[in-house]
Amino acid sequence: MGQPAMNGLTLSDSEFSQFQSMIRQVAGISMADSKKPLVSGRLARRVREHGLGSYGEYFRLVMQGGEEFQTAVDLLTTNETFFFREARHFDFLRDRILTAHDGKSPFRVWSAASSSGEEVWSLAMLLQDQLGDSAWEVLGSDISVRMLQTATRAIYPLERARDLPQAYRSRFCLKGVGEYDGKLMVAKPLHSRVQFRQVNLIGALPALGAFDVIFLRNVMIYFDLETKRNVVERLYPLLRPGGHFIISHSESLNGVSERFDLVAPSIYRKPDASV
């Protein structure tokens, strides 16, 4: 059976299966059958804009590569986030990790699935507040070019800032006016400490250097077990000995990796002496 028609388009089971296979191969994401309405909705506009009569025709266009391939990947891998999501992780970073930092080397954090960037800018605000003018930097990466463009622009709807501390909002953000009414922008001084790069976590990683903390939150829930193991194993060498690996509260490394020490729920530490 097909998905109910949306603006005259119907996503059949076989067409949906093609997109499932594509996104699993490209991004490692296991897309459940329940995501069919999401796929239908997100791709319908592209089908119409290209003047195509079916999702199958659009799939064939996508598989020719080029810009439309990246557009489809962007649409199918995008997830909404917000500032200071799962605030306990930021509390732990502030109270337990940063207080122990010796300051001998730049403090580096990697948001490895940064989506539209709210996590990255939350980290930057916290590090600026706690470390000030000492050496620190944040890297945000994602597979979606469109999300990285949003992250770099750093302009967000106010509702994304519902958990942003008022002191940080006043200090690090500008309130939009005119055409930007209802939005906020992360102030420019933070931008010099932040970098965004396109990185596919299931592919060969570029040279990124070593990190004190890696955030990999709300992405492994979309991976099967083997992909989770491969991704974590790939990230492990990029974490400095004694560094912390932080995942979402809904995720766990049980059965995924035994190389980390559990510090608190969803917070792991790489042993000082690698084994």
Q: Is 91 a catalytic residue?
A: no
Q: Is 42 a catalytic residue?
A: yes
CA separation for the pair 211, 238 (Å, rounded):
6
CA separation for the pair 215, 206 (Å, rounded):
17
In one-letter notation, the amino acid at residue 202 is I
All structural domains of the chain: 13-77 (1.10.155.10), 87-269 (3.40.50.150)
Burial degree of 90 (CB within 10 A; 0-12, 13-18, 19+)? buried
CA separation for the pair 156, 150 (Å, rounded):
9
Q: In which order are the strands placed within the sheet that holds 261-264?
A: 194-198, 136-142, 107-111, 211-216, 239-247, 267-269, 261-264
pLDDT by 10s per residue, the chain, length 275: 344 444 568 999 999 999 999 999 998 888 889 989 989 999 999 999 999 999 999 999 999 988 999 999 989 987 779 999 999 999 999 999 999 998 889 999 999 999 999 999 999 999 999 999 999 999 999 999 999 999 999 999 999 999 999 999 999 999 999 999 999 999 999 999 999 999 999 999 999 999 999 999 999 988 999 999 999 999 999 999 999 999 999 899 999 999 999 999 999 999 996 44
Q: Using an 8 Å Cβ cutoff, are 97 and 127 in contact?
A: no
Burial string for 245-268 (b: 16+ CB within 10 Å, else e) reads bbbbeebebeebbebbeeeeebbb
Which pTM value belongs to this model? Answer: 0.88
Which of the residues 74, 85, 142, 217 is marked catalytic? 142
